[in-house]
Structure 1
C-alpha cells in the first residue's frame, strides 16, 4: 500500500520536472518531497534518473506514474459519486435499452452543457444487463421493458414506447404482399417485435419468418439506415425512430390498436435516489418526448425519495 502523500509527491515531481517546483506546488519543503520519493524507491527500486537540468523517469517510474494517475482518477470519481450536496453536479449513472437511450442521451448531454458540474455515465444494454447493472450497483438507475420480480429493486412506469411499422418514404402498405415486396430489415428484437405488431395489423398472416429478409443490424442507431435507402421495412420502438436523423426518408404505417411497451425505471430498494438523480429525472420529464407519455412518473423536488414513496403518494 502506497501512502497517499507519497503518491501525490511523485505525481507532482513527474509533472513539474524538479523537486523545487514540485514542493512549491504541494506547499511542502523540498526535503519532504525527497523523503517521499526515497520511501517509494526503497520499496520499488529506482524510479528517477536525476540530471542537472531535471529528472527522467525509469521504466519503473513510468509505471508508478500511471498507477498514481489511476489512483487520482479513482479518488475523483469517488468524490463525484458520493457528493450529493448539489443536485446539479456530480455523476449520473444509468443503463437503458438502446431505443430509449437514443432519445435520452442527447437530452442528458444538453443538461450537462447547461450544468457543467454534471458527469453523465450512460450505457446501452438489453434488459438482462440493465437488471444486472443496477442489482450489482454499477448504475444507480436503469430502464427495463418488464416488471422486475426481484425484491431488491423498486420500479415505476417511466414512459410508453409503442412499436411502429417503418417503411421507406413513398411506400404504402395495405396488404401482406406489400411487406413481401419490401422485405424485412431484422435486428436483435426484430422478429419478436414484428410478430407482435403485425399480428394485429394482418391477423392470420403466414408469419414474419416467411418474409424475405433484406438485412440485419445489431446497432440500434443504424437499423433504420437500410429502410431509409429503400432496402426494406422494419418494426422498431417509437423512441428509436424519433431519434433517426433522416426522418424525411422513412414513414410510419398506421397499424390500428397500438402495441406498447412500458419502460419502467428501476433502482435498488434499500436506499433512496440521490438528489441529483431525482433532479435529472425531473428535467427529463419536463420536456419532450417524455413529458408526453401517459406512463411517465413525475418526480418533484430534489429531495432523495424512493420510487416506492413516489408511487404511494400518487395513489
Structure 2
C-alpha cells in the first residue's frame, strides 16, 4: 500500500506543476515534498521528467496518479456510505444516471418529479448509446447506467431492470409487407439503429440480406430528431416505443407490426467493486414502483 502522505504530496505536485507550489499548498517544505517523491520513485521507478518550468509524468507516474485517484474515489464513496445510511439523507445528494435516449425520455420526467419532491436530491442524467454508457460507468463518470445488451466486463454488475418494445416505424400511409418494401423506403439510422433493426428484422423476416443492404437515407444522434425524417417520408427506422410515443407529430408516423412484439431488456449497470449509494438505491426503487407494465410513464 502506498504511504498516504507520500501519495498526497505526489498528487499535489502533479496538480500544481511544481515542488514549491505543492509545498505551499500542503504546508510542507520543498525538501519534504521532494523526499516523499523520492521514496515513491525508490519503490516504483522514475515517475517524473523534471523540466525547468514544468514536470511531465512517465508511464509509471501516470499509473500511480490513476491509482491515487481511485483510492481517493473509494474513500469518498466510503464516506458517502456512512453518511447516507439514514432514510432522510438517502434523499439528498447527487444521483448520476446515463441511459439510452428512448427510455430516458420516459424516465427523465419521473426523475424531475423526485427532485421537486426532495429538493436536496440532485439529478445528473445523460442520454447515450450502449458503448458510451458502459464506458461512463467504468470510468466512474456516472454511478448508474442502462444498456440494451448485457455487458461481459467483470468490472460491471448487470441486472435486468426495465423492458422496452422495439417498433418498426414508417411514414404514415406506407404499405410494408416484406423486405422489398423496406428496401424501397430506405433506412434512417441512429446510434443503436442498425443493432435494433437487425434484432427486429431477423426475428420477423428471417433470412433477410441484412440492414446494411438497405439504402441509408439519413442519420441522427438526437433522440428527439430521429423520427423527423421518417415523418417527412424519407425512410423507416427501428426505435423503442418510448421514443415514438414522445414524438410531437404521431399522425405522421405508422407502426408496422410484422409479428409478436420484440421486447428488449434494459440492464442496470454499476461498478461491481462497491455497493450502490443509499440515495441511488432509493431512486431505483421509486422508478420500479412507478414503472407500469406498459412501460409508459405518466407525464
For 1:270 and 1:210, locate their aligned partners in 2 and report how far apart those are by CA, in whole Å.
43
Given that 2:129 and 2:191 are in contact with CA atoms closer than 8 Å, whether structure 1 keeps it comes out as no
**1:243-254 equivalent positions in 2, closer than 5 A:** 243-254=246-257
Cα deviation for residue 293 of structure 1 reads 6.5
Q: 1:257 aligns with which of 250, 254, 260?
A: 260
1:105 and 2:108 matched:
yes
Cα deviation for residue 144 of structure 1 reads 1.8
Partner of 2:188: 185
**CA, structure 1 residues 200+226, in 2 after alignment: closer, same or farther (shift >3 Å)?**
same
For 1:158 and 1:198, locate their aligned partners in 2 and report how far apart those are by CA, in whole Å.
24
Partner of 2:292: 291
1:91 and 2:89 matched:
no
Given that 1:159 and 1:293 are in contact with CA atoms closer than 8 Å, whether structure 2 keeps it comes out as no
TM-score if structure 1 supplies the norm length?
0.61
Partner of 2:205: 202
Cα deviation for residue 163 of structure 1 reads 1.9
**1:130-279 equivalent positions in 2, closer than 5 A:** 130-279=133-282
**CA, structure 1 residues 162+180, in 2 after alignment: closer, same or farther (shift >3 Å)?**
same
Given that 1:169 and 1:251 are in contact with CA atoms closer than 8 Å, whether structure 2 keeps it comes out as yes
For 2:100 and 2:197, locate their aligned partners in 1 and report how far apart those are by CA, in whole Å.
18
Aligned length: 216
For 1:126 and 1:207, locate their aligned partners in 2 and report how far apart those are by CA, in whole Å.
21
Q: Which runs of 4+ in 1 moved over 4 A?
A: none
Gaps in structure 2 of 5+ consecutive residues: 1-75
For 1:213 and 1:136, locate their aligned partners in 2 and report how far apart those are by CA, in whole Å.
34
Tell me, what secondary structure is at the counterpart of 2:158? strand
TM-score if structure 2 supplies the norm length?
0.64
**CA, structure 1 residues 266+195, in 2 after alignment: closer, same or farther (shift >3 Å)?**
closer
Partner of 2:27: none
For 1:264 and 1:280, locate their aligned partners in 2 and report how far apart those are by CA, in whole Å.
16
- CA radius of gyration, larger in: 1
Give the superposed CA RMSD. Answer: 2.7
Gaps in structure 1 of 5+ consecutive residues: 1-77, 295-315
For 1:157 and 1:135, locate their aligned partners in 2 and report how far apart those are by CA, in whole Å.
18
For 2:140 and 2:170, locate their aligned partners in 1 and report how far apart those are by CA, in whole Å.
40
**CA, structure 1 residues 138+216, in 2 after alignment: closer, same or farther (shift >3 Å)?**
closer
**1:76-87 equivalent positions in 2, closer than 5 A:** 82=80, 84=84, 85=86, 86-87=89-90
Cα deviation for residue 284 of structure 1 reads 1.3
Q: Tell me the alpha carbon deviations over residues 163-205 of structure 1, each in whole angstroms, 9 at most, x when there is no partner.
A: 2100122333223333233222122332232222223333333
